Structure 1
Amino acid sequence: MVSTQIKETNHAVAVVSLGNSQVSLGHPDESVTPKPNIEDEVEYPDGGSAWLQVLACHLINAMACGYGAAFGIYQLYYTETLKLPASQISWIGSIQIFINNLVCTVAGRLADAGYARETVLGGSFIALLGTFMSSLATQYWQIFLSQGVCTGLGLGLMYMPTVTVVTSYFKKRRALALALSTAGTGTGSIIFPATVQYLIPQIGFAWAVRCAGFVALTIVIIVNVLLKPRQLPKKTGPMVDWLAFKEPPYVIFVAGTFFVYWALYFGYFYINTYAITVASFTPTSAVSLLLIMNAVGVPTRPVIGYIADTYLGPINAFILSTLSLAVAFFAWITINTPSTMYGFAIVFGVTNSAAQAAFASGLASLTSNPVKMGTRFGMCCTILALATVAGPPTAGAIIDYCGGQYLWAQVWAGLVSVLGAATLSVARYKVSGAKLMVMV
């Protein structure tokens, strides 16, 4: 009777026993031995109590992203009270978003190392400090430091761990879970500007901002009760995963996203001032456009997440969403009446939110090792920081150069978005080749 047995030694030598004889096969050829997919070795709940983590991360995004996306209301107030050029005021919001993204490499690495909860807690404290200090600020430099620098730092530390937490609980429904998590951007973008705008006539700007701070404090308490990061197998590693920059799909994807985010916040920052100067809106009625734009984004994100999971694939969804965003920017050129402004707010809110939701799931699909998810996301967001800090001031400079006309700024945003979609298409080609009818 012949028996076959495979034994492994510390030197990875395979030995086959044939009866009483043993034949050493030597070292297996590593070049032909497929490396196991680490993600396949991890069990994912993909539902149940894991949805509580999605809720917690939704609330984190309500602060971390929703606060920044609502800067349009502050842009309008600061422009009127400080009497400074729009491009100079927009630097406050741009620096806030810049620092938010800049610290993501550090926050992502901390989350991967098992300190997601501590990172969120520390970021919460810093963000609240910046919010309450901005309520005391009366000069440009004070607002810049409190709302731009301090708040941006805190929000960045809060945001990045959400990606690590959600992706550690979900695999099959990852795009949907990430979309529901990032939908918090829309929730926060409704809560914070509404709180500030509608309380200003009643209690003044300073106390309106403080009330927004108390709302943020409530969110922080709920988040830190619900958040329970899942500890995946991990090992120490560098702050930056330099090997990722040797992967063409990752590098090209990051480049395409850079172009998308260069133009992304233009609409959020300038829709209020555009409505007032071009479409005869009052300051109060103009705020309703921002609220509508953010409100329609809340259901859009889970819808695009479901479509990406079920029909298109995350990268395909990101490309199509970016193209639709470019169309919205070009369509903005023709908008000049109150009724068309409301229609544009809906279209822009849907397309913008779809692009942001698809970005997260698209980048996650390029990361097979869940232990490196936060690090690779953080690296990308740090690069995107340069795009977000340059975008609104670039648009503002174009508007100021054109004597207050928005035409060429709108053309610039549309062209940059098309360039982003084209670059993302190259990344898709690197993943799937020339095949069109395939989920990627």
Structure 2
Amino acid sequence: MVSVEQVKETHHAVTVTPLPVTPLSNSQVSLTHPDESATPKPSVDDEVDYPDGGSVAWRQVVACHLINAMACGYGAAFGIYQLYYTESLKLPASQISWIGSVQIFLNNLICTVAGRLADAGYARETVLGGSFLALLGTFMSSLATEYWQIFLSQGVCTGLGLGLMYMPTITIVASYFKERRALALTLSTAGTGTGSIIFPATVQYLIPKIGFAWSVRCAGFVALFMVMVMSVLLQPRRLPKKTGPVVEWAAFKEPPYVLFVAGAFLVYWALYFGYFYVNTYAITVASFTPTSAVSLLLIMNAVGIPTRPIIGYLADTYLGPINAFILSTITLAAAFFAWIAINTPSTMYVFAIVFGITNNAAQGAFASGLASLTKDPVKMGTRFGMCCTILGFATVAGPPTAGAIIDYCGGQYLWAQVWAGLVTILGAVTLAVARYKISGVKLMIKV
């Protein structure tokens, strides 16, 4: 009779017999497992323990909201400066728009470097260094009286500083959230709307009382207060560091990533056209005064504050981040085409609301959509920064392109509006192809 102990021994002998441990070369591995690349591997994203909430995590959202109020809100408010510089310097609008375009371009261009620094564990240092440059450029622009001085201070110095500030916010917020990442990112980027209200309102409504120079300095002091608060709240999470190049060239071998970047490039090529030219359009076409035209820009930016968290919630809960970006882009294109029919004060106010909602929804969905393509959190800053650097070329060319079309058409906006709508539609189509590369023809799924 076989004892229980003998059965156990026999069982162990069968189940735990060790396999040979002779090391295999790469060629042997590929021959033994020819379909290894097709086998799904656990995502690096799944191996990281995300708090997905808690006081520290939400403090980072608040801190990054303030950073975005400066990094993105300041640039989105350039329409105020566009109007003032055009009137005071007596230069063509297309030439003045190069200041804001270069600022946004450098903001995006430096993102590759800033993203790599954030991934390497220097997020806080990068943000503080960028804050110094942004504040320096702001205060120096208050002293500038000639075009080249404004270009260097507000365009170059401030642009570089804002880019160094902005990029680490994506890495910081994404390192604390996974299931609610889209919501957290859009709450963070909603700071764009906050800053786009505070900075233009400060400058515009103080100019009649204390002059342009001191109005800009007051905006600088507001920015300084934001920097002080966020520096207290900011606590980047220390994820495992990885050495690597500034540019991860392997990302450009991923069709979804490449197509997503291409689609975003087209969207951002036209995106700032509305922000830069809504004031001049309202004055020349809809009989606004320079003072009343400012209210349009404030409305466009104000509606973005609730819009971004809403699109983030919808992306997390129902749509998926890339689906949300595609839908937002389509509505933005519709807003550009609708702009053609706007020519009265009342319709201009309606357009400001619609354009502000669609524009901010597209920008908010972009951040969460791109973040969803990066499964390794310690590469988030690098891959995000690479995309933003490419988008910099779109943003620097967009407003001047629209301005050149307007000048060529004798001051008429029609073909510039058509151009913006068509480019945005083409961007939505490209994003849809990127989605197809991820999910195939399946429509009713979150992507």
Pairwise TM-score range, normalised by the shorter structure: over 0.9
Residue 432 of structure 1 is matched in structure 2 by: 439
Residue 364 of structure 1 is matched in structure 2 by: 371
- 2:132 maps to 1:125: yes
Residue in structure 1 matching 2:42, options 36, 46, 56: 36
Show CA shifts across 1:40-61 (max 9, x none).
Answer: 1111111111111000000000
Distance in 2 (CA, whole Å) between partners of 1:390 and 1:4 is 75
Distance in 2 (CA, whole Å) between partners of 1:104 and 1:431 is 26
Amino acid of the residue matched to residue 330 of structure 2?
L
3-state SS of paired residue (2:168)? helix
Distance in 1 (CA, whole Å) between partners of 2:171 and 2:381 is 5
Deviation at 1:38, TM superposition (A): 1.1
User: In the alignment, is the contact (CA less than 8 A) between 1:2 and 1:19 conserved in 2?
Assistant: no
Once the two structures are superposed, the pairs formed by residues 26-175 of structure 1 within 5 Å of their partners are: 32=36, 34-49=40-55, 50-175=57-182
Residue in structure 2 matching 1:300, options 303, 307, 332: 307
Once the two structures are superposed, the pairs formed by residues 238-257 of structure 1 within 5 Å of their partners are: 238-257=245-264
For the structure 1 residues 235 and 202, does the alpha-carbon distance in structure 2 shift closer, same or farther, using more than 3 Å as the test? Answer: same
Residue 331 of structure 2 is matched in structure 1 by: 324
Show CA shifts across 1:174-231 (max 9, x none).
Answer: 0000000000000000000000000000000000000000000000001111000001
Residue 10 of structure 1 is matched in structure 2 by: none
3-state SS of paired residue (2:303)? helix
Deviation at 1:233, TM superposition (A): 1.2
Residue in structure 2 matching 1:24, options 20, 24, 29: 20
Distance in 1 (CA, whole Å) between partners of 2:419 and 2:19 is 70
- The gaps in structure 2 that reach 5 residues or longer are 1-6
Distance in 1 (CA, whole Å) between partners of 2:267 and 2:242 is 34
User: In the alignment, is the contact (CA less than 8 A) between 1:2 and 1:18 conserved in 2?
Assistant: no
For the structure 1 residues 338 and 109, does the alpha-carbon distance in structure 2 shift closer, same or farther, using more than 3 Å as the test? Answer: same
Deviation at 1:20, TM superposition (A): 9.8
- The gaps in structure 1 that reach 5 residues or longer are 6-15
Root mean square deviation, CA, Å: 1.6
Moved over 6 A (4+): none
- 2:423 maps to 1:416: yes
Show CA shifts across 1:230-277 (max 9, x none).
Answer: 011121111001100000000000000000000000000000000000
Residue 378 of structure 1 is matched in structure 2 by: 385
TM-score using structure 1 length: 0.95
TM-score using structure 2 length: 0.94
Distance in 1 (CA, whole Å) between partners of 2:210 and 2:15 is 90
Distance in 1 (CA, whole Å) between partners of 2:166 and 2:18 is 57
User: In the alignment, is the contact (CA less than 8 A) between 1:67 and 1:188 conserved in 2?
Assistant: yes
Deviation at 1:35, TM superposition (A): 3.1
Amino acid of the residue matched to residue 48 of structure 1?
G
Residue 184 of structure 1 is matched in structure 2 by: 191
Residue 3 of structure 2 is matched in structure 1 by: none
For the structure 1 residues 24 and 302, does the alpha-carbon distance in structure 2 shift closer, same or farther, using more than 3 Å as the test? Answer: same
For the structure 1 residues 426 and 201, does the alpha-carbon distance in structure 2 shift closer, same or farther, using more than 3 Å as the test? Answer: same
Residue 349 of structure 1 is matched in structure 2 by: 356
For the structure 1 residues 22 and 89, does the alpha-carbon distance in structure 2 shift closer, same or farther, using more than 3 Å as the test? Answer: closer
Deviation at 1:37, TM superposition (A): 1.4
Moved more, 31-40 or 107-116: 31-40
Once the two structures are superposed, the pairs formed by residues 388-403 of structure 1 within 5 Å of their partners are: 388-403=395-410
Residue in structure 1 matching 2:202, options 180, 192, 195: 195
Distance in 2 (CA, whole Å) between partners of 1:203 and 1:220 is 24
Q: How many residues are aligned here?
A: 430
3-state SS of paired residue (1:204)? helix
For the structure 1 residues 163 and 19, does the alpha-carbon distance in structure 2 shift closer, same or farther, using more than 3 Å as the test? Answer: closer
Deviation at 1:170, TM superposition (A): 0.2
Distance in 1 (CA, whole Å) between partners of 2:147 and 2:10 is 78
3-state SS of paired residue (2:108)? helix
Show CA shifts across 1:333-367 (max 9, x none).
Answer: 00000000000000000000000000000001111
Distance in 2 (CA, whole Å) between partners of 1:313 and 1:22 is 45
3-state SS of paired residue (1:437)? coil
Distance in 1 (CA, whole Å) between partners of 2:15 and 2:190 is 64
Deviation at 1:36, TM superposition (A): 2.7
Distance in 1 (CA, whole Å) between partners of 2:47 and 2:81 is 47
Show CA shifts across 1:260-307 (max 9, x none).
Answer: 000000000000000000001011000000000100010000000000
